[in-house]
Amino acid sequence: MSVDFADRVKNLPPYLFKEIDRLKAELLAKGVDVINLGVGDPDLPTPPHIIERLQKAALDPANHQYPLYSGMNAFRDAVARWYKRRFNVDLDPSSQVLTLIGSKEGIAHLPLAFINPGDLALVPSPAYPVYQVSVMFAGGTSHIMPLVKENGFLPNLDDIPEDTARHAKLLFINYPNNPTGAVADAAFFEKVVAFAKRYDIIVCHDAAYSEMAFDGYRPMSFLQVPGAMDVGIEFHSLSKTYNMTGWRIGFAVGNAHVISGLAQIKSNVDSGVFNAVQLAGVEALDGDQNCVQQMQAIYQERRDILIQGLRRAGLDAQPPKATFYVWCPTPRGMSSADFTAKLLKEAGIVTTPGSGFGEPGEGYVRMALTVDKERLQEAVERILKLSW
C-alpha cells in the first residue's frame, strides 16, 4: 500500500518526547532507577467522592445512551455555578458553556471553526504544542509570540506587526502557563481585550491550571475582565484540578458565537462525554473542595524541595506561583538538549528540554512535580553530585 500521509501529518513537528523516550528505555533496560519529571500528568489519585459518583452513575441505564452533543444540562449548570462561586462570573449554561472531551479536544477543534486556509493565528512560544498544530490542521499559519523572562513570559502585543494583527483571527494565551509556570494579572488581560477588540480577534485562553496555585495565590479568569465575554472563550479542565487526566472531561466557556462555532465542529466529529463521567464532573465541581487545597499543599511542598535543591546546585530557578512545572535555566553555555541529556545519562532524571516547546524555550528545561517528595529529594541529591 503506497498511499502517502497527508501534508498535515507530514508537517507535524517531531514528537517532543521521542529522543527522551529512547534514552529512558535504554537506561531502564540497564536497570537504572529513573526519576521521571518529564510528563505533566498528576501522580495523585482522583478523590474518592468523585469515583463513587461515577460508580453509581454507571449503573443507571439512562446514562448508557448517546450523551447530548453540547453536554448534559446538569454538567453545564454545575460549570455555571462553579464559575459564579470561583470567579463571580455569570454564564448562561445553554449558550455559554460547552462540555469537552478534555480541554485538549476543544482547543484542537476550535481553529476548524474559525480558520480558513491561509488565515493567521497568534500563538505563544514556548507553549503547549496543540495550539500551533491545530492551526496547521485547519490550513492556517501561526505567527509566533515569543515568551521571554524579561517580559514575565507574557507575549508583548506591541511587537505584533500591524498588518499581522489585522489579518489574525485567533489569539491563544495560557495562564497559569505551561511550560514556564508564569501567571498573568488583570492588567495583561485588559490589554488582550483591547487588542482583540481593536483588531477583531477571537481570544482563546487556556486556563487548565487555574486551580493549581500556591502561597494563597488565586489565578483569575480571563472572563473577569470587562469586555472579555465579547471577544473570547476560556478552556478549563478537570484533569489537573481533580487528578482526572484519564477521565477525559473539560469545558469551554465564554462568547456564545465562538462556543456555537466549536459546538458545530464537535457535533460532526464526536458524540460527547459519557454521561456518568459528566455526573462525576458535577460531583467534582459542586462537591467538597478540600481535595483541591490538599493537592495544592502537596505540590507546594514538592516545589519548595526542588527549588531549594536547584538553587544549591547553582541554578537560578524561580518558584512558580502556579502550575506543577519548574522552568529551570540551564547551566551557562549548555543548551536545553545538552542539559536534558546530562540529567538523564548522569543522574537518571527525565526532564523536558525547553526548546521542545518552541525555539524561545531554548536555555531552559521543564521539570514536572509529579513524583513524591522522597523521590524529589533523591533527584536533588543526584543533581548536587553533578558538575558543569
Shortest Å, Cβ 385 to ligand PLP: 31
In the complex with ligand PLP, the residue whose CB is nearer, 42 or 309, is: 42
By beta-carbon proximity to ligand PLP, the closer residue of 96 and 239 is 239
CB of residue 214 to ligand PLP, shortest distance in Å: 17
Shortest CB 45 distance to ligand PLP, Å: 16
User: Taking the complex as a whole, how short is the minimal distance between the CB of residue 323 and ligand PLP, in angstroms?
Assistant: 8
Nearer to ligand PLP by C-beta: 95 or 245?
245
Beta carbon of residue 367, minimum distance to ligand PLP (angstroms, whole number): 14
Of 103 and 342, CB closest to ligand PLP: 103
User: Which spans of this chain sit near ligand PLP (rule: CB under 6 A)?
Assistant: 40, 102-104, 128, 174, 178, 206, 208, 237, 239-240, 245, 250
In the bound state with ligand PLP, the residue whose beta carbon lies nearer, of 178 and 221, is 178
**Beta carbon nearer to ligand PLP, 347 or 350:** 350
Map grid coordinates 458524540 to a residue. 271
Minimum CB separation of residue 100 from ligand PLP in Å reads 7
For the CB of residue 46, give the shortest distance to ligand PLP in the complex, in Å: 13
Give the nearer residue to ligand PLP in terms of CB position, either 142 or 348.
Answer: 142
**Chain position whose Cβ is nearest to ligand PLP:** 102
